[in-house]
Structures are given as C-alpha cells and as structure tokens.
A and B are shown apart, each in its own frame.
Chain A
Amino acid sequence: MARVRGLWDRYRSASPVTIALLALVLGLVVGAVIIIATTPEILNAWRGAFHSWGAPGHALKVTFDNVGAAYRSIVTGSIVDPPQFWHSVTTGRGWTASLTPLSETLTYAIPLVIASIAVGITFQTGLFNIGANGQAILGGVAGVAVATLVHLPMVLHLPLTLLAGIAGGVVGGAIPGLLKAYTGAHEVIVTLMFNYVASYFMLFCLLSTPLQLPNQTNAISRTMPGGTQLAPLFGTASGLRVNYGIVVALAVTVFAIWLLDRSSIGFEFRVTGANPHAARASGINARRTLVTSFLISGGLAGLAGVTWVAGTTHYIDQNFLQGSAGIGFTAITVSLLGRNRPIGIVWGSLLFAALEVGGSNMQANTGIPYDLATVIQSAIVIFVATPVLVKEIFRLRTLRAESIKVATAGWGS
C-alpha cells in the first residue's frame, strides 16, 4: 500500500517526465476526437445511435474500431507488428518485414536527434536558432559536394564528407552568430531569413554543373559514391534502412551531454542562457559565448543534414529538407519537448519519428491522412508548453516552491 502511495505521490508531483507522458496521452485523445469528427462511418453510426436499443453499442464499437485501427497502425508501423513478429519468431522468416517499422523509426530519428540537439544548445544559451534547417541544408550540400567531387579512399572520404557537412553548417551558424555579436541583429530574424538563402543556394548548386546529375536539367545532385554513404547497419541485403548514422547520433548525444553538463564552455552557455546579466557580471564574454554556441549549433545542424543524405537517399534534390520535411524546424519543437536536454531530446525524437513513420502506415492502412500524425505531434507540444493546462486536466498537485512563488509574486519582500 505504501508503495502504491509512493507511486501516486510521484505521479502527482508533476515532474517534467510525467507532464510529457500525460501530454502524449492528451495528444492521442485530441487525435481520436479528430478521427471521430472526420470519419463519415463513425458519424453515421452515431447519427443512427438513438433509433434502436442496440445502436449506441454499435456506434461505440464503430468508434473504437476506427480509432483503434488508426492508432494500431501507428504502433505497428513504427515499433513492431506483434502477429508479424510472432510469425518471424516461430518460422524464422520475414524478419525484414518484422523489423522494418523499428528500422524506419530509427532512420528518421537519427537526423532529428542531431538537429534537435543543435537547436537545444542555442536554447540553453538563451538564443533561438530558427535557422537549423538552413544550416542542415548547407551541411547536406557541402557533404554531397565533397562526396561526389573528391576522390579518396573510404577511410578518409566518409569522415571528410561528414566534416564537410559540419563545415557547411558552421558557415550557416557563423553568419547569424557574428551578425548578432557585432551588430546586434536579432538572431531570430537573421536565422529565419537565412533558411531561404540556404534553400535557394541549394537550388543554385543543384542546377550548376559540378553538382548536378549529368545529362539532367532537373534540380538533382549526383549520387554519393558507396564509400561516402552511411551504410545500412545490417547490410544492404537486409532491406533495413537503419544505418551507421545511429553511431553519429549517439556520438553527438554523448558530446552534448559532456558539453552541457560537464564542460566549462557549456556551463558558460547555461549561465548566459539563464541570466545574461549575471553572466556578464561573472566575467563571461557574452560575444564569445554567443558566437561559439552558434558555431557548435550550426555545425551539428549541418551534420544532421549530411547524415540524413548519407544514410538514406544518397543524393539531394529540390525537395531536400523543404516544407514538412524540414527537420530543422521539427527540431525546434522536439527540443522544447525534450526540455533542451540531450536525453529528453533523444526520447522526443524517437516519439516524433515514430509518429511520422507510423502516420504513413496509418494512411496506407486506413486512409486517414498522414497529417493526423502532425496534428498529434503539434498537440503534444502545445500540452508540454502549457504544463498548467495538463496539471489542471489531471488535477496534479503543483510543486510546492512554485505555488508559493506564484502566490507571492509581485509582493516583494
């Protein structure tokens, strides 16, 4: 009993993890409401629900069937399909089909983890890098350029490709960083606009001779040679796309944990982010901190871009990181979801990647538009951003210190 009580108290104490999990639950509830409101079959069932005794039960069943089918598709399409998995375990066959969902989720999560950490580092410094997408594009372009235009043995070529990606992103991060440090230009505007510059620069490169696929007038690049690709973890024959980019993502995560929690420069980032006045009074060089943070962030965003190309398509075209595929934009929300902490970001990325991959599966299986996954993602972020709302809905106890702060805010003393 005491243990249950302990768990209960922990639930009610509204830790960030609890809030995030409850936000997920609420996001799914919102998704369910939208499915119900937009599926004619369900609406028809409810329209007839009051005409006969058995009808309400039927309507309920139809509702559960449809919503269930949608969410089941998300789960089976992004993690594992139990019957298929059992089939593989018992017969030893069809492993590709069994593992594809997880492989796809990881494939999508790889660049998202890296890009979100890039954004998270600037957030921790109190800066908004809205330009991670542009930096990722530059990283991708630079990576593809080095991969296709330079000829080297693989041991050198792959690292050089990744480094080129980092360098591309560093350039993209340096511009807003230096502009802010030396002219005071607001980084949100500069980075936001820089995304367009990067997109059009990419288009220019893709339509220029060295990078463009030969005998092509379309905006598409040459394909990266095998030695510069991040190979599938289980070999090309496995049919699973999850690739060695996962090693890059893990390395970035470890690096970010060191940077933010253990390094002196990261400490200065966090002090600057939490209280720039105290940072200045403590002798922290604001300019240097700002520029360094942007360089690291841009470099990682660029790495995210090149990792994405080198691990999946191996070429870039005019749609690279455009529109809803702009991982640099998704990264902003993932970073918020993960509270700008590396481990939180890893979980957030996995969740978003799973919703994305599962959303496609849902669309293929049930015809419910893929966009529902985006709606759920957005709802989760809204709920995470408004913990007060989540606490009210689930009647969580607010943390004691906080409640006192709220109660006495503005009263001085």
Chain B
Amino acid sequence: MRLELRGITKKFGSLTANDHIDLVVEPGQIHCLLGENGAGKSTLMNVLFGLLQADEGEILIDGEPVRLANSGDAVRRGIGMVHQHFMLVPVFSVAENVVLGFEPTRSLDRLDYARAREDIRSVSREFGLEVDPDATVESLPIGLQQRVEIIKALGHDARLLILDEPTAVLTPQEADALMAIMRSLAASGKSILFISHKLKEVRQVSDVVTVIRAGKVIGSVPPTASESELAAMMVGREVSLVVEKTVAVPAEPVLEVRDLVVRDDRGLAVVNGVSLEVRAGEIVALAGVQGNGQTEFVEAVTGLRHVESGSVLLAGRDITNRPPREILDAGLGHIPEDRQHDGVVLSMSVADNMVLNTPRRAPFARHGTRNLRAVRDHAETLVESFDVRTSSVEAPLSSLSGGNQQKVIVARELSRPLEALVASQPTRGLDVGSIEYVHREIVRVRDEGHAVLIVSSELDEVMALGDRVAVMFQGRITGVVDPSTSREDVGLLMTGSTPAESR
C-alpha cells in the first residue's frame, strides 16, 4: 500500500497537536516516525486509524483520497494497528482472539475454529510468526502476545501496519525477533509505520526516518544518519548520548542486603536469597528481564513488601520490615518503577507532590498545620534548579509531560537528606532529553558520595550508568560484573546461563 498524508492538521483548543504533516509511506517500506513524547505521534496515528478526525488535510491510499470516520473504516481500507497496550482478552485462546469481531462461522452460527486455526497457521508460516493457536493469551510471554496482535491485524488483510512503540515492553532478544518479523513483512510487500523514540532500533530497522517535533515534520532522513543527528532533530538541540562520568570512588557500604527472601502476592518466593552491597559513591545497576523479582526486591528494600527472611541495612541500621515512613526518614530515596502509580498524585499540584513524603517536616508544617508558603517556595526552588517545565507550581501534576513528572520525583527525592537512592526504571517512557537529564542527576548523586542502586531492564542504560552491574534471573543474582563486560555475556546472565569468563 502507498499511504500519503497531506497537510494533516489537528487542533485541541489552542494547542496544535499536528501542524500540516506531510508523510509518504511506500509499499514494502518500513517508515519510522521518530519524536519525543508529546510531539504529536500518537495524535497522528489516531487520525490515521480513524479514531480522531483531522481539522485539515487529506489521507490518500494508493493515490485515492479516503475518509476514515472510525477504526472500522481504517481496517476495511487495509490499515492494521498494534497498540502499545495489547487489546487482547487474556483468558481467550490465540485463535479466539484473532477472530474476535470477525468470527468465521459454519451453519447455525457455530464458530469455525478449524478454519480460524488454519488461517493462523498460514499467516504464521508466511511471515515466520510462530505461535500456538490453542494457547491462552495470558500464558504467553509478552513477545508472543505481541505476535498475536500482529497476526490479528494481518488476519484482517492489513496492507499497512502501524506499530506503536512496539519494543517498549520487550526483552532485547524479543526485540531482535520483532525486527526480523518486520523485515519479512516488508519483504512481502506490506508497508510498516513504526513509532519509536529509541534511536538504536530505529536506525537498525527503518528504511526512512521522519522526525516530528512539536507537531511539525522536522525532516526525513535515511537510517544512516547518526544517533546524535537524529537526537538533535528530535530534541531541537545537541544532546549528549553517552553518560559522562568519572571513575567511581567507592567508600564504605551503605545499603547492605543479606540473603533476602521475598514472596509475591501469590506466595511464590520471587526473591530467593539475594545478597547485594552498594557502597557510598558508586552506582550498582541491577539488570535483568522484567519479572525476575526486581520489582519485589525493590519493594522489600523500601518497606512496601514483607521480607520473609534476610535483612536490609541502611548505613548500618537495620531497616528490615520497618514501616515505609521510617525507611524514608532513615535516608532512603526512592524513584518508583511505576511513577504515576506509586510516585505522584496526578490530581495534586506540583508543589504538593514535591513534599509528598515529607509533609510533616519543618518548615513545611508546624504543629499539624501546613506552611503553604514554605511548600510553594520549596517547589519553586526545585522547579528552578531541576528545570521542571510547568506553568506554575500550583498546576496539577497531570498537566506535566511524563518527563517533567519524573523530574518532579527526582527533585523531591534528591532534595531530602539521603544515604542511598534506589531508582527503578528511572528513564522508562522518557524522551532523549529527559533521559540525559535524569542520568546526569543520578551520577551527581553518586559523586556527592551517596550509594545508588539502579534497577533497569534497558541493557544500554545498565551498561552506561552502572559502576558495577548485578544481573538478576529468577529471584537470584546470577552474576556481578564490570560494565565493560560484553553485551552478549550480560545477555547470557539475564537468561540464567553463565558465560565462560564470568565468575
């Protein structure tokens, strides 16, 4: 399919989300749409998939102008979409999910599962999308669930696939497999519109990269453009992509975890005898594919989950199974994994969020009455020094972009007296500019002599930030290595195998 967008403009009130966007996707092309969060990528995809109507401009499919009033129109025209959050019914089988809404039937309205299975097998064979049609979706790993989404789109005879940030939830291996599938689809003549803000994979797989910023197309470049070129186009200024840091000077251990055993909500020991030591002035990065106990490990350390056995010491003080308040006050900073869930209150102001875990502390309150001026002054200072982009400190946090919300959390945690900082997925979902910023702040904390523990499933981040890299697999630490170790070896540790040279 040849897709052409001409002058697409979409406004929300006074905000122009898309400003005269022109874009051409040729048949068999993998076209990447690159842009920061809030650049207007999602709005454009919604327009293209019929979920939003453009105020101006037209959409041409194979040279013919079309009107897409809803997603059904888009599907009929051969446009398929793979959402970042899968639209699958977890308890249904793969076959049932694929035919959902377009069920093939035999006489008397009986579902024709045999045909559904055969359709899936043929699509699988054609594009190398191996998946068992009878498996229930919830039993499949994320990577395979994504394949089901793709098969579903192809099952509706999609000739153009829109992939919205498809690698955000995948392991490095799964991401590589996806790239291969994308290439095979393109080779068979399907067009692919690929939305991302990860420079590495964009360069790896795209035929053409179109960068948008603030609702406007900045330009289209071949994938041979360097990462820093692309980043500069995206952010609008030069950005540093490598984490600049000096050699760590580790001092005494500050955060000591010994033989930690933690159970998850189902009662399984998902952290099974982890010992880890983080020294003042060093960054320890905990790597691993998501779901190997990292989340529960951090929850246990920060007092949010019961410790079955083992101990956690902060600056020599036992904080095992202490209430979160006591642990926070003992000087443990925490940047939670899911910031909107655990880190902030979206409906409250920036200023209130800045004192979320210190509301009773002087000068923010005295004798149970809050000092709103002190809270505001505090927030204004932090907004200034951490460069939080907000209309005012009284604005609700929900009005800030994801990156700025994360900056609020970083500012809050770093502005209280700290012994150690635990940061989970500190840059997840952030754009290049914000990632650079957060990384710099984390290094600064280290350089001020604090112990820092980073938990991340992004291998690049782990290798760039960590002074030591601990790899977690199925509730155990499979190895602690130097960041100069090869990516392949760390990847092996992440799958539980032990590379030859690792101890």
Q: Do chains A and B touch in the complex (CB under 8 A)?
A: yes
A contacts, CB < 8 Å to B: 258, 262-265, 267-268, 270-271, 274-275, 277-278, 280-285, 397, 400-401, 403-405, 407-408, 410-413
Q: How far is the CB of B338 from chain A (nearest CB, A)?
A: 8
Q: How far is the CB of A407 from chain B (nearest CB, A)?
A: 6
Chain A contact surface mostly: helix
Known: A262-B369, A263-B370. A283 touches B357 (CB 8 A): yes
Q: List 14 contacting pairs A-B, 8 Å CB cutoff, sorted by A.
A: A263-B369, A267-B352, A267-B359, A270-B345, A274-B347, A275-B344, A278-B341, A280-B324, A282-B357, A283-B327, A397-B13, A400-B15, A401-B398, A403-B13
Complex: how many Å from CA A275 to CA B15?
Answer: 29
Q: Determine whether the beta carbon of B323 is less than 8 Å from that of A283.
A: yes
Restricting to B186-214, which residues have a CB under 8 Å from any CB of A?
195
Is B365's beta carbon under 8 Å from chain A? yes
Complex: how many Å from CA A407 to CA B18?
Answer: 13
Is B348's beta carbon under 8 Å from chain A? yes
B contacts, CB < 8 Å to A: 12-15, 17, 37, 41-43, 45-46, 51-52, 83-85, 164-165, 168, 195, 302, 304, 323-329, 334, 336, 341-348, 352, 356-357, 359-360, 365, 368-370, 372, 398-399, 429
Among A281, A397, A401, A408, which residue has its beta carbon within 8 angstroms of that of B302?
A281
| Chain B residue, CB-CB nearest to A271 | B345
Q: Determine whether the beta carbon of B83 is less than 8 Å from that of A411.
A: yes
Q: Determine whether the beta carbon of A264 is less than 8 Å from that of B345.
A: no
Q: How far is the CB of A209 from chain B (nearest CB, A)?
A: 44
| Chain A residue, CB-CB nearest to B367 | A264
Report A-chain residues with C-beta under 8 Å of the C-beta of B37: 413
Q: How far is the CB of B378 from chain A (nearest CB, A)?
A: 14
Report A-chain residues with C-beta under 8 Å of the C-beta of B323: 283, 285
Q: Determine whether the beta carbon of A278 is less than 8 Å from that of B12.
A: no
Q: Determine whether the beta carbon of B372 is less than 8 Å from that of A270.
A: no
Q: Which 8 residue pairs across A and B have the least CB separation, nearest first?
A: A283-B325, A412-B84, A282-B357, A400-B13, A283-B324, A281-B342, A264-B365, A274-B345
Known: A264-B368, A274-B348. A403 touches B342 (CB 8 A): no
| Chain A residue, CB-CB nearest to B342 | A281
Report B-chain residues with C-beta under 8 Å of the C-beta of A281: 302, 304, 324, 334, 336, 342-343, 357
| Chain A residue, CB-CB nearest to B339 | A278
Complex: how many Å from CA A405 to CA B399?
Answer: 10
| Chain A residue, CB-CB nearest to B35 | A413
Q: How far is the CB of A260 from chain B (nearest CB, A)?
A: 11
Q: How far is the CB of B46 from chain A (nearest CB, A)?
A: 6
Q: How far is the CB of B201 from chain A (nearest CB, A)?
A: 16
Report A-chain residues with C-beta under 8 Å of the C-beta of B43: 407-408
Q: Determine whether the beta carbon of A258 is less than 8 Å from that of B52.
A: no
Known: A411-B164, A413-B164. A275 touches B346 (CB 8 A): yes
Report B-chain residues with C-beta under 8 Å of the C-beta of A284: 325
Q: How far is the CB of B371 from chain A (nearest CB, A)?
A: 9
Q: Determine whether the beta carbon of B360 is less than 8 Å from that of A404.
A: no
Report A-chain residues with C-beta under 8 Å of the C-beta of B342: 277-278, 280-281
Report B-chain residues with C-beta under 8 Å of the C-beta of A277: 341-342
Report A-chain residues with C-beta under 8 Å of the C-beta of B356: 271, 278, 282
Report A-chain residues with C-beta under 8 Å of the C-beta of B352: 267, 271
Report B-chain residues with C-beta under 8 Å of the C-beta of A265: 368
Q: How far is the CB of A412 from chain B (nearest CB, A)?
A: 4
| Chain A residue, CB-CB nearest to B399 | A401
Complex: how many Å from CA A89 to CA B285?
Answer: 82
Q: Determine whether the beta carbon of B357 is less than 8 Å from that of A413.
A: no
Q: Which of A268, A271, A278 has the most CB of B within 10 A?
A: A278
| Chain B residue, CB-CB nearest to A400 | B13
Report B-chain residues with C-beta under 8 Å of the C-beta of A405: 398
Known: A267-B359, A270-B348, A285-B323. A258 touches B45 (CB 8 A): no
Q: Determine whether the beta carbon of B334 is less than 8 Å from that of A264.
A: no
Q: Determine whether the beta carbon of B14 is less than 8 Å from that of A411.
A: no
Report A-chain residues with C-beta under 8 Å of the C-beta of B15: 400, 404
Q: How far is the CB of A271 from chain B (nearest CB, A)?
A: 6
Report A-chain residues with C-beta under 8 Å of the C-beta of B343: 278, 281
Report B-chain residues with C-beta under 8 Å of the C-beta of A274: 345-348
Complex: how many Å from CA A282 to CA B332?
Answer: 11
Q: How far is the CB of B23 from chain A (nearest CB, A)?
A: 18
Report A-chain residues with C-beta under 8 Å of the C-beta of B325: 283-285
Complex: how many Å from CA A285 to CA B359?
Answer: 13
Complex: how many Å from CA A401 to CA B302?
Answer: 34
Report A-chain residues with C-beta under 8 Å of the C-beta of B360: 264
Report A-chain residues with C-beta under 8 Å of the C-beta of B368: 263-265
Q: How far is the CB of B361 from chain A (nearest CB, A)?
A: 9
- Give 16 new A-B contacts, CB below 8 A, not counting A267-B370, A282-B328, A283-B357: A264-B370, A275-B341, A280-B324, A281-B324, A281-B336, A281-B343, A283-B328, A285-B323, A285-B325, A407-B43, A410-B85, A411-B42, A413-B37, A413-B42, A413-B84, A413-B165
Q: Determine whether the beta carbon of B304 is less than 8 Å from that of A280.
A: yes
| Chain A residue, CB-CB nearest to B36 | A413
Among B12, B45, B329, which residue has its beta carbon within 8 angstroms of that of A283?
B329
Report B-chain residues with C-beta under 8 Å of the C-beta of A407: 12, 43, 46, 51-52
Known: A403-B13, A408-B42. A264 touches B359 (CB 8 A): yes
Q: How far is the CB of B81 from chain A (nearest CB, A)?
A: 10
Complex: how many Å from CA A265 to CA B164?
Answer: 43
Report B-chain residues with C-beta under 8 Å of the C-beta of A400: 12-15
Complex: how many Å from CA A383 to CA B456?
Answer: 47
Report A-chain residues with C-beta under 8 Å of the C-beta of B369: 258, 262-264
Q: Determine whether the beta carbon of A262 is less than 8 Å from that of B164.
A: no
Q: Determine whether the beta carbon of A282 is less than 8 Å from that of B324.
A: yes
Complex: how many Å from CA A267 to CA B368?
Answer: 10
Q: Determine whether the beta carbon of B12 is less than 8 Å from that of A412.
A: no
Complex: how many Å from CA A21 to CA B42?
Answer: 36
Q: Which of B42, B46, B329 has the most CB of A within 10 A?
A: B42
Complex: how many Å from CA A283 to CA B356?
Answer: 9
Report B-chain residues with C-beta under 8 Å of the C-beta of A408: 42-43, 46
Report B-chain residues with C-beta under 8 Å of the C-beta of A262: 369-370, 372
Q: How far is the CB of A254 from chain B (nearest CB, A)?
A: 13
| Chain A residue, CB-CB nearest to B365 | A264
Q: How far is the CB of A295 from chain B (nearest CB, A)?
A: 15
Q: How far is the CB of A28 from chain B (nearest CB, A)?
A: 31
| Chain A residue, CB-CB nearest to B327 | A283
Report B-chain residues with C-beta under 8 Å of the C-beta of A275: 341, 344-346
| Chain A residue, CB-CB nearest to B87 | A410
Among B84, B345, B365, which residue has its beta carbon within 8 angstroms of that of A278?
B345
Complex: how many Å from CA A144 to CA B429?
Answer: 61
Complex: how many Å from CA A275 to CA B352?
Answer: 13
